[in-house]
Amino acid sequence: MRIKWLSNMLVAGLTMPFVYWALCSFGWALIWSHVGTPYCGAAAPNIVLIFADDLGYGDVSAYHASDVRSPNIDRIAAEGMLLTTMRANCTVCSPSRAALLTGRYADRVGVPGVIRTKPEDSWGFFNPQVPTIADELKRHGYHTAIVGKWHLGLGSPNTPNERGFDFFHGFLGDMMDSYTTHLRHGQNYMRRNHEVVQPTGHATDIFTDRAVDYLRERAQRKEQPFFLYLAYNAPHFPIEPPEAWYAQVRTRAPQLDDKRARNVALVEHMDDGIGRVLRAMRELGLEENTLVVFTADNGGSLPHAQNNDPWRDGKQSHYDGGLRVPFAIRWPGHIQAGSRSDYAGLNFDLFPTFLELAGGKPPADIDAVSLVPILTGQSIKQSRDLYFVRREGGPVYGGKSYEAIIRGQWKLMQNDPYSPLELYNLQSDPLEQVNVAGQHKQVVNQLNTALRKHIQRGGATPWQAP
């Protein structure tokens, strides 16, 4: 009996390592086959989301020749994947951010328009009952932080610390009247968690410094993954670069008019800050297991000399100049360096992407689609409509909303609530030059029916504070 027992133990001792190896090689391969290189004991990645404010597609040199030099944004693309057909969820700030953080269309979370510091001109209330990506990642063990622009509420229950973020250092308001005073209408909305703070310096430098400080803190706690949402307010107007950066651009490109030169300098200054963040990750040993995403909340503002080439129009517009945004994503060892994708997605697709990589399952009622298959060179076969909405005040908009929808090659849209619907064939007319609504009335009717359903869904959520 003892000999038989010893024999069984010997067989087990030889077999168990094989079983463990097989589970690692094949079990993890099944789990991680659509994420990246399989490995045993895989850890959830750290996540750094860098979000620019009003950055035009043409103001990033990764896409085509530009008078802007953006080597650090370009580096994220070169060391990972550049997506060429991504759009923001809205043509303006607050709705894009609300959708990004919830994986739901902006009107479904109460933010069809801009949340402003003056209540009489505010067109949204961020539904406090809807979980944010920070809430979801915390449930999966992440430490969560936002540095920079919030723009989803000035007080309870919609401050960052109440919406899933463990740490906040940034600006609650819609925009700054100056990058150096940090005030809006004479009020200070700069906060460190709930504390009013008065940091000195250019806002872009402040947010870069705080992001690097946060990375240093997390490097001391590598056993816990983190999510850092670094939301610069650059290059949103006022176009106010540091003078040294402006002088550098004027010297290099004296042919540029003053307005354009200042915008180029503001973007390049932000890009330099992004470079500092990337260097800190490398120096702190965080680079290898950190997913980095760079994108923007909407297209650039044409009156402020921002560039959305080759797309038509800019910020506030449902033409693609207002919606197409730069989008690059890097995760060493998991996303092939130098890869590209023309998948037509929306920024809020990052919600289920992050959650899936963290080991979670996205809620059933979100509208976003995970980009995980795209990141490994596969495809997403699931087709869907892309819906856009913006509500605005003033005589041009009258407090009403206007919408757009993309279905396959077709795009139906308005740019104000009072104009007729326009239809474009994005396959044959990607620059949206020829309105074909009169020639394709059946398509207009089909897409208009789909729009009404979205409007009904959004109408179920109040967009003013109770």
Could you tell me the domains of the chain? 46-375 (3.40.720.10), 386-459 (3.30.1120.10)
Q: What is the pLDDT of residue 40?
A: 33
Q: What is the pLDDT of residue 340?
A: 97
Annotated active-site residue 454? The verdict is: no
**Distance between CA atoms of 39 and 26, rounded to whole angstroms?**
10
Q: Name the token pair of 324.
A: 């197409």
The two structure tokens encoding residue 26: 């094949």
In one letter, which amino acid is 302?
A: L
CB 330 within 8 A of CB 295: no
Q: Are 265 and 251 in contact (CB under 8 A)?
A: no
CB of 64 closer than 8 Å to CB of 328: no
Q: Residues in the chain with pLDDT < 50?
A: 1-41
User: 252-262: b or e for each residue (b if 16 or more CB lie within 10 Å)?
Assistant: eeeebeeebbb
pLDDT of residue 19: 39
- Active-site position among 34, 40, 90, 93: 93
Q: pLDDT value at position 90?
A: 98
pLDDT at 381: 87
Report pTM. 0.91
Question: So what's the pLDDT on residue 2?
Answer: 37
In angstroms, the CA 62 to CA 296 distance is 14
Is residue 151 annotated as part of the catalytic site, yes or no?
Answer: yes
Tokens, residue 234:
């650059």
Query: What per-residue confidence (pLDDT) applies to 42?
Result: 54
Active-site position among 151, 269, 318, 454: 151
- pLDDT, one tens digit per residue, over 91-114 is 999 999 999 999 999 999 999 999
What is the reported pLDDT for 382? Answer: 86
Residue type, 195: E
Closest CA to 306 of 236, 402, 358: 236
